[in-house]
Chains A and B, each alone.
Chain A
Amino acid sequence: MSISVQSTAVDGTSRQESGARLWAMVLHARELPLFSIGLLLLFVITGIFGDFISPHDPLRTNLRAVLLPPFWEETGTATYLLGTDHLGRDILSRLICGAGVSIEVGFSVIIVAGLLGTLVALLSGYIGGRIDAALMRLCDIVLSMPYLMVAIVLAAVLGPSKENIIIILIVLGWASYARVLRGEVLRVKEGDFIRLAVIAGASPVRIMFRHIFPNIVNTLIILATLQLGMVIITEASLSFLGLGVPVPEPAWGSMCAEGRGYIYDAWWIAFWPGVAIMLVVLSCNFLGDWLRIRLDPKFRQI
């Protein structure tokens, strides 16, 4: 008798506890990477398989179905779930295919700029001296340029295309990695294990890649995650200004720009790509913050 009473009591508290824990997790979104990881995974999958899962051809216009609202509005239809734009193109399909552009630009930029920045940081921090001075001044120059301005000028000069956008963002992006990682290199390089590696006869290249790099890779991952959001925003901004991916290929930024003129009559044209950009960037920032706490040895629990 008493046992059964006790078991109910235990059950009750555990349910209460799990509820409280869930609340705590929601409130501390940084501790809940599931949201970010889930959303980014969705983003990546739609980006890669966009052509297969989009319900309509994102480029096909349908002048009999122009400016249709999302399905829950009175005049909306289930054929075009999120509505259509001024040319009668399906917004959901364009959104799905636009993810591919953001993915391609975002990931190629963070990977190439990250590797370039790491290389500069290793050379600058470990070799030091004149190489350090030269590379860091170059870094200062790149960092002091107004990011969007230069991107606009370069895009105008090189012409709008996906490849040019990637090149521009790499040229402007490597410096922030180099700056932060150089500091890390300087910190790691003071360890006795670096001195002992020199005494053992390890070459500078080996010391940089076998001893220093593994100790800064966490910071690189965190930086890259945070930068992914930045890169996607910049790509969207350039596309918004008509300097990014050329129309009619769907890109979130240019979709926003197209919707701008209809913002009072058909809010959904600009709204959905705007929401998509925001969610993806937010996930990147959440994930970056969470990684920072998880990967930083000072926060790590054994």
Chain B
Amino acid sequence: MTEELLAVRDLKKHFPVTKGIIFMKEIGAIKAVDGVNFTVNRGETFGLVGESGCGKTTTAKLILLMERITGGTIHYKGRDISLLRGSELKSHRGSVQAVFQDPFSSLSPRMRVKDIIAEPIVVSVNAPSKTAVKEKIAELLQLVGLRKDAGDLYPHEFSGGQRQRIAIARALAPDPDLIVLDEPVSGLDVSIRAQIMNLLRDIQDRLGISYLLIAHDLPVVQHMSTWVGVMYLGTLVEIAGSEELNENPVHPYTKALLSAALPHHPAHIREEIILPGEVPTPFNPPEACKFHPRCFRARDICSSVPPLFRDIGGGHFVACHFIDDLRKI
């Protein structure tokens, strides 16, 4: 059965905004992440989609403990990791790893590939022997499809796709249970994308690890994910199984997002929903339902009562007042 690996509840991150040059006053906060709930199961991939600036990357940073959370909890293997410090934090590091978008910036330019890959093992609390590390590096290089002697080279001797393979090998080194993939293929040529996506899926099948995939590209997320969460302005508006979301989107924003993606076949013409206006600033977001100023179904209630994030069956969550009406469309 599915086992909960990561559970994020009511996660919040507010960045204070100050005014004045000498006497700085806090005049408000940018609510980058404002009440996010989702669960990543063992061996599955949870995809987060949304426009740029919607808080996807901030969410990833919070889960990677690179920023302090403002509110909520992050349970990993049943333990709240959001407030870990000192030696507890050090021993937690390694069990959640990451792969970032830019394969040119994510590898230390003056280190050999083998040292880059070995770093998460070498710095861990109980580092194994040198020969064990050497064997592990060879194994990882083979796993990501790189030659054995690649370890002796420097990162600049590789292409973008190969560098991303190195980044993946490094992320796998400490045997993590969860890898956060922040736009892992956005920085790559289209021809390389499929290779890297399939590599990630193969690795998941073989090792049974979980991914938290963050991307703005809907087809990429749907290809990779078991579950997909749609983010808008710091909150999740809908979570559904990957296929369910594609065939039966409920939230008006999800419908608009899906209609903007290219269809699988040119003859398959979908109704295109054009949203009016622009994404509001997270400094002063709309009241209640954050989507209501741009929503084609908005009524009075949307600007006064925040919608609940409800399960409408089979793990399909939606935050909207008009779920029943929308399902019929």
A199 touches B90 (CB 8 A): no
Looking at the assembled complex, report how far the CB atom of A188 sits from the nearest CB atom of chain B, in whole angstroms.
9
Looking at the assembled complex, report how far the CB atom of A213 sits from the nearest CB atom of chain B, in whole angstroms.
9
A192 touches B106 (CB 8 A): yes
Give the docked Cα–Cα distance between A203 and B125 (Å).
11
Chain B residue at minimum C-beta to C-beta distance from A206: B123
Interface range for B: 20 to 34
Given contacts A200-B174, A201-B94, contact A193 B105 (CB under 8 A): yes
- By a CB distance below 8 angstroms, the chain A residues around B142 are none
A201 touches B124 (CB 8 A): yes
In the complex, whether B133 has a CB less than 8 A from a CB of chain A is no
B111 touches A195 (CB 8 A): no
Interface range for A: 10 to 19
In the complex, whether A215 has a CB less than 8 A from a CB of chain B is yes
Number of inter-chain CB pairs below 8 Å: 57
Overall SS of chain B's interface: loop
B93 touches A195 (CB 8 A): no
In the complex, whether A153 has a CB less than 8 A from a CB of chain B is no
Looking at the assembled complex, report how far the CB atom of B114 sits from the nearest CB atom of chain A, in whole angstroms.
14
- By a CB distance below 8 angstroms, the chain B residues around A214 are 108, 110-111
A201 touches B108 (CB 8 A): no
Give the docked Cα–Cα distance between A202 and B109 (Å).
17
B66 touches A195 (CB 8 A): yes
Pairs across A and B, CB under 8 Å, 25 listed: A191-B106, A191-B108, A192-B100, A192-B106, A193-B108, A195-B98, A196-B100, A196-B106, A199-B66, A199-B96, A200-B93, A200-B94, A200-B97, A200-B120, A200-B123, A200-B174, A201-B93, A201-B94, A201-B120, A201-B124, A202-B119, A203-B123, A211-B108, A214-B108, A215-B108
Measured CB to CB, the residues of B under 8 A from A are 64, 66, 90, 93-94, 96-98, 100, 102, 105-111, 119-120, 123-124, 167, 170, 174
List 10 A-B pairs, minimum CB-CB distance, nearest first: A201-B93, A214-B110, A200-B120, A192-B106, A192-B105, A193-B108, A192-B100, A202-B123, A191-B105, A201-B123
